[in-house]
Amino acid sequence: MKKQGKLIVHTGSMFSGKTTSLWRELYRMKIANYKIAAFKPSVDNRDDERKIVSHDKLEIDAIKISDLNEIVDYAENHELDAIGIDEVQFFPNDPSEVIDIFTKLMKKRITIVVSGLDMDFKTRPFEIIKEIMPIADELTKHHAICASCGEDAWASYRKSSDDSRIQIGSKDKYEPLCRECYTKKMSEREKTKNQIAMEDLNQ
């Protein structure tokens, strides 16, 4: 019996295996002769333009889109059993619109597999993930390993001082940290920032 009209969500910090789980779900469906399509946000300029690539280099063909409504249009013209969406938090759609889009697709008995970050580098929830979690049929919170102490990671710590909410990157820009290590590093960063500000004032 096929999974039809379901919403499957994989979320957590960076390096926690979200995209690998998305790949695994779609790969199993492909073996079971599901008609599938995968999508990635146009702002994601990492790796291959036409593939979703996990941190452990598993890959699947994907279509780059800038708006989730493009999936509805695609589904109108293609026979589909399931779709995969990577890095869903990067899409500009309002969360209520996302729920409407997903509902339309599920009414067509299309199963949706989503992966995305639950929080940004300041641990603020990404609105899309926050709103779709309650309507998911299956929900998995993944954990990476803390880069400082080896405990389960809780957040994605940004190594640079760039304060913009969206900054695409991998291990060059982020590291997974547990709550304690994250809080400690953010406190140290704030202390350094205040010291620099005081030095600038005294010049």
CA distance 79 to 21: 24
Model pLDDT, residue 107: 96
Q: Along the 203 residues of the chain, how does pLDDT read in single tens digits?
A: 567 899 999 999 999 999 999 999 999 999 999 999 999 999 877 666 788 888 778 888 999 999 999 999 999 999 999 999 999 999 999 999 999 999 999 999 999 999 999 999 999 999 999 999 999 999 999 999 999 999 999 999 999 888 888 888 778 899 999 999 999 999 998 888 777 766 666 66
Task: Compute CA 161 distance to the chain's CA centroid, rounded to the nearest angstrom.
Answer: 22
Model pLDDT, residue 101: 97
Architecture of the 7-143 domain: 3-Layer(aba) Sandwich (3.40)
- Residue spans of the domains in the chain: they are 7-143
Look up the pTM and report it.
0.89
- Cβ neighbours of residue 119 under 8 Å, at least 6 residues apart? 13, 125, 126, 155, 156
List residues bridging with 10 in a β-sheet: 115, 140
Which residue in 76, 87, 151, 180 is the catalytic one?
87
Q: For the chain, how many helices (H) and strands (E)? A: 5, 10
List residues bridging with 83 in a β-sheet: 37, 112
Catalytic residue flag (residue 49): no
Model pLDDT, residue 54: 80
Here the tokens at position 139 are 């929900």
Model pLDDT, residue 45: 74
